[in-house]
Copies of this chain bind each other. A is one copy, B any other.
Amino acid sequence: MFSDFDPDLPSDYRRADILFLGNIDPDLQEGVLRQAEEPRLVAMDTIRLWIDIKPEALRRVLGGVDVFFANDEEVKLIAGDPNLIRAGRILQEMGPSLMVIKKGEHGVLVMGRDFVFAAPAFPCEKVVDPTGAGDSFGGGFLGYLDKVGKFGEEEVRRAAVYGSVMASFTIEDFSIDRLKTVTMEQIEERFNAFRKLVAF
């Protein structure tokens, strides 16, 4: 471990329905996961660093989660397969029933056990700062699932679009400034714009 940081969850956090293991050291993710009391859904994110220096620990955590957020490069790297779809299937074998593959400006690909969903990124003419887009996506995705309380295929597809909507707002300004002012109405408006974007 790189520091003394070792999260000890408050008891009400331990009983959360949805647990999101952000991209910290997989050993710490494992420690947090162990403290959770029967979460209904566990998601995790990671970064290239942990794939390189802690592949074993990363795989262990992967074995205990339902949703894996990663970008396309990370998925191929962990799986050791240059074909994204095959790589996603390989990681699903390791644990997560849902692969949520973030591709930045190219959108997102969600692989379930028996469906694949793809959404483009929202076409933005004004991109101020892409920092935090991935985390906003994760927040929007899991926040929507938490709100509806169901994790079926339909909910997951919509969650991916809400995640994309949140990410598209985040990049319009620095830090999370845009998220501080965005309204539910604007979010719903953009959600509907996504429908038009892909309709044929």
Contacts and interface: CB of A to CB of B under 8 A. Distances in A.
Instruction: Please state the number of chain copies in the assembly.
Output: 2
B157 A197 contact: no
A161 B200 contact: yes
A105 interface: yes
B116 A197 contact: yes
Nearest to A116: B123
A36 B175 CA distance: 53
Given A157-B200, A200-B157, A120 B123 contact: no
Contacts of A184: none
B120 A85 contact: no
A119 interface: yes
A67 interface: no
B118 A123 contact: yes
A113 interface: no
Nearest to A162: B200
Interface string A143-165: 00000000000100110110000
Interface string A88-116: 01000000000000010111010000011
B123 A200 contact: no
Rank and list the top 10 A-B pairs by shortest CB-CB distance, nearest first: A118-B120, A106-B106, A157-B200, A198-B198, A85-B125, A85-B123, A158-B200, A86-B125, A161-B200, A116-B123
